[in-house]
Structure 1
Amino acid sequence: MAAILIGTASWADRSLIDSGLFYPPSVKAADERLRYYATQFPLVEVDSSYYALPAARNAALWAARTPDGFVFDVKAFRLFTQHQTPPSALPKDIRDALEPIQKNNLYYRDLPEELLEVLWARFRSALEPLRAAGKLGVVLFQFPPWFVYRPSHLDHLLLCQRMLADYPIAVEFRHGSWFEPRRRAGVLDFERRHGLVHVVADEPQGFPASIPAIWEATAAVAVIRLHGRNRATWDRKGLVSSAERFNYLYSDAELAALASPIRTLAQKVREVHVLFNNNFSNYAQQNARRLQELVQA
């Protein structure tokens, strides 16, 4: 059976820190939090890289503060996943090159190719310290709900792969069109043929953006992201923070039901990454600890 690595989506969420329920009172500084986190779990997801390009210096510090064998999955920068991107999220020199900027939000199509190449190069450079240390897991491309199934979007997946050649890419969709019954097998086959990691997503169902949990492996690594099942907040507008959307604590019975397909998936791949994204208070850490016990039982 493959190694099953269990962790959470971020170690520094404000909701987690403010709860006071995970970090000991003596753990206050950013470096101390990561060091402590790495004594509890072997895997974490870097969420900050979605909001702004990460820095190679920070990645080198993360690698230095964690033990051998620790793994970071890194979310792709929002512009690359065709999310709306405020100009303030771009590096200053890129903003300056785009002046005057007339829009409140920019999209991938709004930037000239030469600037996009610069952004991709900086993203690759930022990942390199983690890869050099043997601590880079996958680069997670979580696409928005408006990234629906269409041939041009398949082309964009391949473009992302070309731009991050030799880096393992995991793909999470947020629109049901990708896994409609008539398309499901074809999408999974596309991921297999191109070595893209299919993300198994556990989330509330019944919304246009809902993706069913499809327990399939398409590469040597399997990734499972657990968002909780809070239907009341999943699609709600105007929430004060993302933590409200993911305000859900999995029950013991729900975790036990997840443990079985996780173990089955682990028989088909080299490594399984399980990430709790129910980042309200210490819910993700509670659930991750319990799931570790259940998959090892």
Structure 2
Amino acid sequence: MVKIGLSGWSDHPLLYQGTKKQQLEDYASYFSVVELDSSFYAIPRQTTVAQWVKRTLPGFEFIVKANRVMTLHSVNGVEMVDNKEQQQLFAQFIDSFSPLIEAGKLAFVLLQFPPYFSCNPANIAYLKQIRAWLPVDAAVEFRHRSWYDERFQTDLWHFLTEQNYIHTMVDQPQVGERTVPFVKQTTAAKKFMRLHGRNQAGWIQAKQTDGDGWRDVRTLYCYNEVELAELAVQLGTPSAATYVIFNNNAGGDAAANGIALQSRFKSSEQLLETRQLGLFD
């Protein structure tokens, strides 16, 4: 099974047929999974999450990005290091998303660590600690190249498998130690591929851009047909649940790319049937 989706559901004009309030429903008529990124900035209310459950059909799933404090991102230059507060935040996170868990609509939690989260004993210990606080499926996305050092590869795969972490296969430009290579390695029952685009110049420019301007250039990329065909080959015929998220949306290309890749795994008649079910169910 391959589930293809996009990062967020509110920034893809190609998909919308109704009002702004119907964007989730419109999105879900095209894709059966979505990555929720707003939780990185603020954990939503449980009542809000419960509404998302009601507004989506059975079988639709959410990949939920962990809050930035949970993944040791600094907030206004300050990092939270208090163990008790961290534990409480994880508990709050699980409670808020309990409607997804109970409905079977939580695919997994995405732990995207900051570019300065390198491979060292303290960070490995933190990954172990998270497993005690987060009793659901979880994917790890590393953004520091040290995790992929050849010296650590065998131990890393063993560790992620032992801790039941899903290894995130990342497609992105290669521009230094704060970007990572695409490594097709499976460490759990579920597989996850995250596609950021291949705009090397934009990635470099984003580093030199102040404020939120980086959003306009870093993921400004449209995968062409040859690249989509290569991605389909990489996915092959998965024997396990496989999730693919397009995050190349600075120019609004994610939706078209997602539909194009999805069509390689479903016939056009199946895609149309899915859309009709979402609109008229």
Q: Distance in 1 between matches of 2:83 and 2:163?
A: 24
SS at match of 2:15: coil
Give the alignment of 1:208-247 within 5 angstroms: 208-235=177-204, 236-238=207-209, 240-247=213-220
Cα separation, partners in 2 of 1:209 and 1:241, compared to 1, 3 Å = closer
Normalising by structure 1, report the TM-score: 0.85
Number of residue pairs matched by the alignment:
263
Task: Name structure 2 gaps, 5 residues minimum.
Answer: 268-281
User: Is the CA contact 1:145–1:175 (under 8 Å) kept in the aligned structure 2?
Assistant: yes
Q: Deviations over 1:260-289 (max 9, x none)?
A: 11125x13x2x0000001122431110000
Gaps of 5+ in 1: 87-104
Equivalent residue in structure 2 for 1:8, among 3, 6, 9: 6
SS in 2 for 1:40: coil
Determine what percentage of the aligned residue pairs are the same residue. 36
Structure 1 residue corresponding to 2:33, chosen from 28, 43, 55: 43
Find the counterpart in structure 2 of residue 263 from structure 1.
Answer: 236
Query: What pairs with 1:1-297 in structure 2 (closer than 5 Å)?
Result: 3-13=1-11, 16=12, 20-24=13-17, 26-29=18-21, 32-86=22-76, 105-109=77-81, 112-165=82-135, 167-235=136-204, 236-238=207-209, 240-264=213-237, 266-267=238-239, 269=240, 271-296=241-266
> Does the Cα contact within 8 Å between 2:15 and 2:30 map onto a contact in 1?
no
Is the 2:15–2:26 Cα contact (8 Å) retained in structure 1?
Answer: no
Query: For each residue in 1:53-89, what CA deviation from the matched residue of structure 2 results, as whole angstroms up to 9, or x when unmatched?
Result: 2221111111110000001000000011111124xxx
Distance in 2 (alpha carbons) for counterparts of 1:261 and 1:116: 37
Taking the aligned partners of 2:156 and 2:66, their CA distance within structure 1 comes to 21
Q: Alpha-carbon deviations, 1:113-157, whole Å to 9, x = none?
A: 333232221111012110101100010000111100011111111
**C-alpha deviation, 1:259, in angstroms:** 0.3
Q: Retained in 1: the 8 A contact 2:168–2:192?
A: yes
Query: Does the 8 Å contact 2:14/2:255 carry over to 1?
Result: no
Which amino acid is the alignment partner of residue 184 of structure 1?
Answer: Q
Q: Provide the rounded CA distance (Å) in 2 between the counterparts of 1:120 and 1:210.
A: 27
Q: State the TM-score, normalizing by the size of structure 2.
A: 0.89
* Of 228-237 and 285-294, the range deviating more from structure 2: 228-237
Tell me the amino acid that sits aligned with residue 252 of structure 1: E
Q: Output the amino acid matched with 1:75.
A: K
Letter in 2 for 1:221: K
CA drift at 1:22: 3.1
